[in-house]
Structure 1
């Protein structure tokens, strides 16, 4: 008969429970993650852009709204590039090139994304067609 020890199981359980604590590093946030740019126009451009970029960690929040470390790094990157003279479109293009179209909330219409744009219209058309058929049956 094999005898199982409780201690290894408790240690494993404690390690599994501690993994969320290790999700963020102990590094200080990037310099421009929580600091606005001195130029109000540049900060407005950066903030507008940050609201349209998806946090790669949170996935449901923009980098402007997320407190994830990665979002802070991305905010700092956006601010530093805009402060260096790049336009928001250039910064967006660089981020899309690096992370793919998924980083933006407004993906371009292309061969991979056309179903995302066409599906809502198709579902509305199907719903109207089904509703029309239901109303015809009631009248007749």
Structure 2
């Protein structure tokens, strides 16, 4: 019985220790006083991927890292930086994966070309099938 209880406690302990006990960053969950700056920050946060959740933007994520990134975005926007400059800094720091709008460069050409190629392939197959029916 003690062994089963100890095993259960060990299995439950890691998730309980996953979050830190630090308070959230200053601007993680607070809006900027200037509505125009907040709108720019919010638009940028919608375009940045949470590094922990990976499927959510930092605006939607509840992860602590996303809160830190939201705070950082708001601080930089409040200091007068343009959203493009903040995005460029984050891409330089975390790689282009952090942005939901990857740049068009040789490495990402397959990403941009894939939808066009798939549509062309689908059209070709549809045409071939229609010609065969006649």
Counterpart check, 1:124 vs 2:119: yes
Partners of 1:40 and 1:33 in 2: CA distance: 16
What's the counterpart of residue 56 of structure 2?
A: 61
Match among 26, 31, 34 for residue 31 of structure 1 = 26
TM-score, normalising length from structure 2? 0.93
What's the counterpart of residue 91 of structure 1?
A: 86
Show CA shifts across 1:108-128 (max 9, x none).
Answer: 011211111111111111111
Question: Secondary structure of 1:131's match?
Answer: helix
Partners of 2:38 and 2:55 in 1: CA distance: 23
Match among 30, 36, 53 for residue 41 of structure 1 = 36
Counterpart check, 1:51 vs 2:43: no
**1:39, CA displacement in angstroms?**
1.1
Higher helix content, 1 or 2: 2
What's the counterpart of residue 70 of structure 1?
A: 65
Q: 1:99 to 1:134 in 2, by over 3 A?
A: same
Quote the RMSD (CA, aligned, Å): 1.6
Equivalent residues, number: 134
Q: How does 1:99-110 map to 2 (within 5 A)?
A: 99-110=94-105
